[in-house]
Amino acid sequence: MSPAPRAVVFGSGHSALTLATGLLDDGWRVDVFTRHSTPEILGNPAGLTQLTLPSVHATELALGLGLWQHTAPPAHEVRMRMAPPEGEAFSFTAPLPGPAVAVDHRLKSAYWLQHVANRGGRVHERTCTSGDVAGFASSRLHDLVVVAPGVDSDLRHLFSPDPDRTGGATDRVLVQVHLAVPDELLPERAEVLTCPWGEVMVYPVLTVDGLAPSQVRALSALDAPPVHVTPYAALCVQVMARPHSPLDPASTITPEGDDSETGSGLPRRHGAHARAAWAHVLDQLPALAPELAGLCAQGRVISGSELVREVHPQVRRPVTTIAGTPVVGIGDATMTVEHASGQGAGASTWVASTLRDQIRQQRQANGALDSAFLTGAWEAYWARHGQYTSAFGGFVSAYWSGALPEHVLTGFAETVSTPEGAAAWAAGLDDPARMNHLLTL
């Protein structure tokens, strides 16, 4: 009997843990490297929340990753409001083909990491460098080497820029908070406001109060019990501001001290800077959406949920060779997805599940997991999902720019003005391959 194949995955985000779980289900031995332990993740400030649309949610459930399917507050429809600078705004409401859910990034990462360990994966708490990746690649101890770090990781530089492809994203400044609101104010739908200044998304989320430093220390001890926290429903508000627009909070945030900026010059993402960014957004919202501004004013910002972050899109080639070993990159390491399109979670899940399916078929055929195969596996994702996600992101990015032909904008407005057209748009939101014909009318 041949030994089980081995994989090493650098990263513990959405795409990394989805792929790790799938490989474990297929009989692989999997090593996952994460910068933070489960208690540390739950003690950190929140990352960017992603709305998980119905088809992606079903894939998570099939992998056993739908850990909150009975507790996460569902969104059953999407309400879009288009607010041009001049003329009358219009809106439409579209039913989703199933429930969409959102789970605090900390909950997902922490408990999916535990899930991988419970399924037999080996989890290593260690910050890895490109030298570590090179060491594993040159050792040839693993049949598959995967790099799936966060957007800021230096590991992304292992992969060369790809000038021939676009992810459809543009520069943005993201502001996020989770708000505690009375149950009767918690909607069962996602609200999206789009205007020339950017987009605002509002939807229910399952969130959590971050662990205190003392709790993190206690739960990190060798004899500590399993980590348990109690999540609860809240409202997620995200603003995707276009740089230098009135929604962009950059000009209102004054750095304090030499360590108050990131390497790119952006003030810190959390704490006082994020709270100042949110205060700026609250000042601007009444002019755009008085109802939404009123709802946000009634909510209490949940400590640790505040986030402000710059996004500079990157597209990199998904496969590189190190010491003769092919290394595949997935997730933010190789492609920035336009967050305002709502496709972030979908892109992470689809690239991981497609790669897993391709690997399973290749092994059944006794084929090699070489560079040509891994490139082809990623291209299979691009053909089925990626190109359509990119096209939809590009449509969202270009909607107010004047780059789209007038007949496309008019055709879109006419389509979604009917119940059938709105439902078709919602089905395309769930699976952008079904959206494509609506974007090229």
User: Which amino acid is residue 42, in one-letter code?
Assistant: L
pLDDT above 50 (res 259): no
From the candidate CATH numbers 3.90.550.10, 3.30.9.40, 3.30.365.10, 3.40.640.10, the one assigned to the domain spanning 72-103+171-311:
3.30.9.40
What strands lie across the sheet with 325-329, from one edge to the other? 122-125, 29-34, 6-10, 144-147, 325-329, 319-322
CA 352, CA 318: separation in Å to the nearest integer? 12
The pLDDT value given to residue 4: 92
Better-predicted residue by pLDDT, 358 or 405: 358
Buried b (16+ CB within 10 A) or exposed e, 326-354: bbbbbbbbbbbbbbbbbbbbbbbbbbbbb
pLDDT above 80 (res 415): yes
Centroid of chain to Cα 137: 27
Q: What is the mean pLDDT of residues 212-237?
A: 89
The pLDDT value given to residue 168: 85
Task: Say what percent of the chain tops pLDDT 70.
Answer: 95
Q: What is the mean pLDDT of residues 311-334?
A: 92
Q: In Å, what is the CA distance from 200 to each residue of 80, 137, 192, 285?
A: 10, 42, 6, 9
The answer to whether the beta carbons of residues 356 and 41 sit under 8 Å apart is no
pLDDT above 80 (res 75): yes
Angle at 43 between CA 37 and CA 49, to 5 degrees: 95
Give the global pTM. 0.93
Q: In Å, what is the CA distance from 360 to each residue of 36, 67, 281, 355?
A: 30, 25, 47, 9
Domain boundaries of the chain, sorted by first residue: 6-35+126-167+314-402, 72-103+171-311, 404-441
Residue owning tokens 């079904």: 434
The pLDDT value given to residue 262: 42
User: Which amino acid is residue 261, in one-letter code?
Assistant: E
pLDDT above 70 (res 94): yes
Mean pLDDT comparison of 7-21, 73-87, 150-164, 277-291, highest-scoring range: 7-21
Tokens of 10: 């650098």
Q: In Å, what is the CA distance from 346 to each residue of 10, 307, 431?
A: 20, 22, 9
From the candidate CATH numbers 3.30.450.20, 3.20.20.70, 3.50.50.60, 2.60.40.10, the one assigned to the domain spanning 6-35+126-167+314-402:
3.50.50.60
Tokens of 212: 């205190």
Residue 311, phi then psi, degrees to nearest 5: -120, 125
**Which band of pLDDT confidence, cut at 50, 70 and 90, is reported for residue 355?**
very high
Which of 441, 430, 337 has its CA nearest to residue 391?
337
The per-residue pLDDT for range 103-161, each reduced to its tens digit, is 999 999 999 999 999 999 999 999 999 999 999 999 999 999 999 987 778 898 999 99
The per-residue pLDDT for range 164-189, each reduced to its tens digit, is 888 889 999 999 999 999 999 999 99
Strands (DSSP E) contained in 90-244 are: 90-102, 122-125, 144-147, 172-180, 189-195, 198-207, 232-241
**Which band of pLDDT confidence, cut at 50, 70 and 90, is reported for residue 265?**
very low
The pLDDT value given to residue 109: 94
Name 32's Cβ contacts closer than 8 Å, sequence gap at least 6. Answer: 8, 9, 11, 12, 16, 17, 20, 113, 116, 121, 122, 123, 124
Residue owning tokens 């904008």: 409
Question: Residue 17: is it exposed, middle or buried by C-beta count within 10 angstroms (0-12/13-18/19+)?
Answer: buried
The pLDDT value given to residue 81: 94
pLDDT above 70 (res 256): no
The pLDDT value given to residue 260: 47
User: Which amino acid is residue 32, in one-letter code?
Assistant: V
The pLDDT value given to residue 150: 79
Could you tell me where the DSSP H helices lie in 37-154? 38-43, 54-62, 105-118, 130-139
The pLDDT value given to residue 418: 94
CA 400, CA 376: separation in Å to the nearest integer? 35
CA 139, CA 142: separation in Å to the nearest integer? 8
**Which band of pLDDT confidence, cut at 50, 70 and 90, is reported for residue 380?**
very high
Q: What is the mean pLDDT of residues 347-360?
A: 96
